[in-house]
Structure 1
Amino acid sequence: MRPMLATPGDLRTGPPAGPAWVHEIKWDGIRLLADAADSRLRLLTRSGRDIAVALPELHGLAQVCDDVLLDGEAVAMVAGRPSFSHVVDRVHTASAVAASRLARTRPVTYMVFDLLRLDGMDLTGLPWSARRAALEDLLEGVPGVQPSPVFDDGRQLLAATADQRLEGVVSKRRASPYRAGVRSTDWLKFPHRGRVSVVIGGWRPQTGTVGRLGAVHVGVPVDDGAGRPLRDDTGALRLDYRGRVGAGLAGRAGEQLQALLVGAPTAPYPFTADIPRPEAAGSTWLEPQVVIDVATLEVTSDGRLRQPSYQGVRTDLTPEDLLEQT
């Protein structure tokens, strides 16, 4: 089964109000389906990979009952806040011995927000409120596991999560069924994103098209050690790679940006480090001239933008101006 997905909500209006809706914290973790049957536990990522070996502290889920399927997020807390990089490190652990050690020093908590199957019964057609009531009764006292808290006032929760620098809010219709694999408007997500400026160093076409903008490769200038942007022997600006931005490029916004990029001079590869061949495939490299703003959840420890979304062109900035923000 694939998890149900939330549709982006409108941050200008905020989470919906009224008794038909309930609101949860959007945890900065890894989405997992926990499938326990016959005393065997599988922890399934969105791609379907079983990572149960990496999270032994959650193996108590196998003893909850004879058969259960849960939906939730594995969250790693650091200094009282979820750390995405820490939980990513955990789920990529393939050694049972290393996982056991990390479970003691860097444990995760499974924040559960839905109950999809119980003792062979498919519960996905029931309203959220009924599934939630059964979930709370089921998980009491399970180590490393807790139901994700729910709140009646979504706008107040959105403000509180912003103050606490949490990822955001998910709002859910109390009457909604669980629609596996569907991105539904019965669930609305309101993430808090920072905004950063980056330079476009290349672009690649949309998959299955010829010449239609699918994503842009972005980076930031590199300090040459003397407070100036690093350049190569030809004088071309060099960039530290920050990732690929595809979200936000649909429709007119993408068409306008593509028209701008078509007029930009092509150039040799502008980034200081190689990027994976699948990411580079089919790309056109450009002179680093165009500055854009992107919204992003965070900049990871290796300098990548997490879930970046295109916001617009910054005609008031030059690439050299960005040296101050790196």
Structure 2
Amino acid sequence: MRPMLATKGTLVPVGEAWSHEVKWDGVRILADTLRDSGSTRMWSRNGNDVTPAWPEIAAGPLAGRDALVDGEVIALNDKGVPDFRVLQDRIHTRKAATALRLSASIPATFMVFDLLRLDGTDLTGQPLERRRQLLGELLGGLEPGSTWQVPTSYDDGQMLHQATLQQGLEGIVSKRRTSRYVLDQRSPHWIKLAHRHRLSYVVGGWRPQEGTTDRLAAVLVGESTPDGLLYRGRVGSGIGGKAGRLLSDLLAPLSTSSSPFADEVPRLDALGTRWVEPSVVIDVDTHGVGYTRLRQPSYRGVRTDVRAEDL
């Protein structure tokens, strides 16, 4: 089984025909609970059985019911924002002991947003509005701290879009209320709108293009904090000919022998990096804010009007 997917959009659809939900930055899961066995099996977006990775979710609230639900497994980073990378250590876990240990240190929550089958009745042909109603009746009594939650859907997409932008969330998904659910299909009736944020970061190093020693291909950037310059990732997209030459000229006089970052730079990123004094500030477009590492960053230019200490 593979879930129905949303189509990328550029504008939030308006009108009573649409409902809107938060776009979660997590792992898409179909959870199939079986009445006879009392167990829950969980399937990834690619149709793989991932039940062993999520023991606290597999032991969900639907024991004794026959149901198939769609949702997103999320975990929060140290800034309280859902962050896919926090889940990296858990995604491929298949050993029960390891999964239980990780569930204690990296707690996950299953945000359930659709109901596809209930007590033997296939609901995929029902409109979304009806499926959401039944889902609310089925899971409406969950405690706030439960590992399963039913996220709110909203009538005002523009409001939700602005609110998620301000909160640093990934974006929203707009869904036509009459939409049916078709497994393994990208539907034009579900539209996803991801945010792009433009923020300023300090350059702490650069990496040459593969096969060269002096042609800049990417920069390593950090965020100025009271604890020093904390590493936020590598930026290569958007750096081409002219931009690369400009950055090379600015960074050449700033060469230093050691990393200016206060925390440890991952070995894969540090390998081959040329460190520089942290004084050049650049603007970067990225998905979401509040992440410890930039999401799909893209270079947008040098800030000559801002100093590193201003950040």
TM over 0.5: yes
Residue number among 33, 37, 55 corresponding to 1:36 in the alignment: 33
Structure 1 residues 185 and 223, CA gap change in structure 2 (3 angstroms): same
| Residue in structure 2 matched with residue 180 of structure 1 by the alignment | 183
Q: 1:190, CA displacement in angstroms?
A: 1.1
The 5-angstrom pairing of residues 14-93 of structure 1 reads 14-37=11-34, 38-61=37-60, 63-78=62-77, 79-93=79-93
Is the Cα–Cα contact under 8 Å of residues 41 and 49 in structure 2 kept in the other structure? yes
Matched, 1:150 2:156: no
Residue number among 139, 162, 165 corresponding to 2:165 in the alignment: 162
Is the Cα–Cα contact under 8 Å of residues 67 and 119 in structure 2 kept in the other structure? yes
Question: Aligned pairs, how many?
Answer: 256
Q: Deviations over 1:74-129 (max 9, x none)?
A: 01123432122112322233332222122223211100110011122211110001
Q: C-alpha separation between the residues in 2 aligned to 1:45 and 1:300?
A: 24
The 5-angstrom pairing of residues 64-143 of structure 1 reads 64-78=63-77, 79-141=79-141, 143=146
Q: C-alpha separation between the residues in 1 aligned to 2:288 and 2:116?
A: 29
Q: C-alpha separation between the residues in 1 aligned to 2:163 and 2:212?
A: 50
Q: Which amino acid aligns with 1:223?
A: G
Q: 1:236, CA displacement in angstroms?
A: 4.0
Is the Cα–Cα contact under 8 Å of residues 299 and 306 in structure 1 kept in the other structure? no
Q: Is the partner of 1:81 in helix, strand or coil?
A: coil
Q: C-alpha separation between the residues in 1 aligned to 2:199 and 2:183?
A: 34
Q: 1:3, CA displacement in angstroms?
A: 0.9
Q: Is the partner of 1:31 in helix, strand or coil?
A: strand
Which moved further from structure 2: 125-134 or 79-88?
79-88
Q: Is the partner of 1:138 in helix, strand or coil?
A: helix
Q: C-alpha separation between the residues in 1 aligned to 2:289 and 2:89?
A: 16
Matched, 1:223 2:226: no
Structure 1 residues 295 and 65, CA gap change in structure 2 (3 angstroms): same
Q: Which amino acid aligns with 2:40?
A: L
Identical aligned pairs, as a percentage?
43
Q: C-alpha separation between the residues in 2 aligned to 1:240 and 1:80?
A: 27
Q: Deviations over 1:243-288 (max 9, x none)?
A: 997xxxxxxxxxxxxxx9xxxxxxxxxxxx989xxxxxxxxxxxxx
Structure 1 residues 307 and 41, CA gap change in structure 2 (3 angstroms): farther
The 5-angstrom pairing of residues 241-260 of structure 1 reads none
Is the Cα–Cα contact under 8 Å of residues 5 and 184 in structure 2 kept in the other structure? yes
| Residue in structure 2 matched with residue 206 of structure 1 by the alignment | none
Cα RMSD (Å) of the superposition?
A: 4.3
Structure 1 residues 103 and 18, CA gap change in structure 2 (3 angstroms): same
Structure 1 unaligned segments of length 5 or more: list them. 198-220, 246-259, 261-272, 276-292, 318-323
Q: 1:155, CA displacement in angstroms?
A: 0.2
Q: Is the partner of 1:48 in helix, strand or coil?
A: coil
Structure 1 residues 88 and 223, CA gap change in structure 2 (3 angstroms): closer
Which moved further from structure 2: 117-126 or 75-84?
75-84
Which moved further from structure 2: 106-115 or 87-96?
87-96
Is the Cα–Cα contact under 8 Å of residues 194 and 296 in structure 1 kept in the other structure? yes
